[in-house]
Structure 1
């Protein structure tokens, strides 16, 4: 299938990341990163021919898929992609429009692709039910007002098989990776002064410093360390202190911040859950959260930052 003109450049789409383990790199299998579906049963296999094109021209993930543990539990049943009001929305794959209308007051378009269907909201539709569309064909324009969006507008893209919600990012063309190959290779944190303890026991996937952002493809400063821990891994406080934040923080997703006094604050981002509340006093090594992939994230990992006097510093020399 030819690449449509709206597809992002190869620089902005990266393959699944290699994980750092000692001196060797190993690439996790796709099966290891498939997110569990809502309902019991197997997740359909994902092949190269199943790839979806991106529904927006310059996609950036504002919030990733979060599979709820049970059908009626909290979660995020799709991915939110940052866009602009009035931006063209296109079909991710060939199919037939099966629904155009409001769901709980939100304009929705649904396209059937055989055993699965894609959903788009909030979208002002330019197609009608029964129309056949190709991958990359316009189906409407993006509307503002998506709840929780960190931009002027966000497209909530869903992927559904029967009544089971699946992770759309596993099909989005090119997939992507946590660390840019254009930046420095991931290296284990060097032994520092021991002021802080590592928050997780996991390989480092992105160091502190300037890099090419894995979602936007733009150079920017990476203000912490990324650890490639699986979703659900306990996150420990790096030192004793008081919790000063436990909530969503834009692109950082769910975030916990601990004040250690003397102007030093550590933060733990992209979490799936927080196990402490603001005002909680924690000890070094105490679990404060669990690893997730919330916010602008391309997969399960912990983003760990240290701020001294309000300025981000490299955590590695402190571990």
Structure 2
């Protein structure tokens, strides 16, 4: 199944050229042209994945060294694909950072970083443009459960946009201020769309989409819809289905996962307790658990998720 990204309207337009120019357009759109260091043909980077990958999340400059932002670009890929050096240099680091496998290469004033990558090089190894640094992993990727390579760039001591040195010619991209969320995969959900009753009678406190995580501070996809319900509120199945898992996850806390057929699954997360067992057949409206604040949670709420063929989609498209 393909996993494509869309570029919404009402957005920031970025273009890389030799001089920095900013023009304000009607409606508040900004056309930005920026260069970060020399961009001559000898200094341009090659793409780290072959064939040339799709950019699924663009660079979003952080306002400060510790502020939220997207310090690189995410490139769509396949697990196990070879990851190649973008230019000649020396491996500055090959190991793990906060549990994520990372490779960094110095290029005389520029540094490229690649994650998540199972390294086949060691710190201090000289590399040439196109040399294999390792293979692309799934775990630790910014696009999980989809697979992508996060390519970062530092120009001196500052973060910079890798796309300014990639490819040939200028780039023009339409991106929202917080970066584009993955597009829901194509799935035949016509019989289900708009037919489900919400799992709790409570207002939405955080919708599906890109956001800064309230605990980690990282800009990432919020892969479900949060309902601001009090702890202990009954959580009900949104449709007929079968319970496929009742588990505890460090991030999602106590959770119940249901299969509704056609490749569609729902999960009910951060529960105080589950009221069903794995393998049980459940009718729409049956209580499956109670709202809680388990796992990585800042307070009582229900995090409701829908997956179509293994990929997260916006639950609102299914709810009545």
Query: Max radius of gyration: which structure?
Result: 2
Task: Give the TM-score normalised by the residue count of structure 1.
Answer: 0.45
Task: Give the TM-score normalised by the residue count of structure 2.
Answer: 0.45
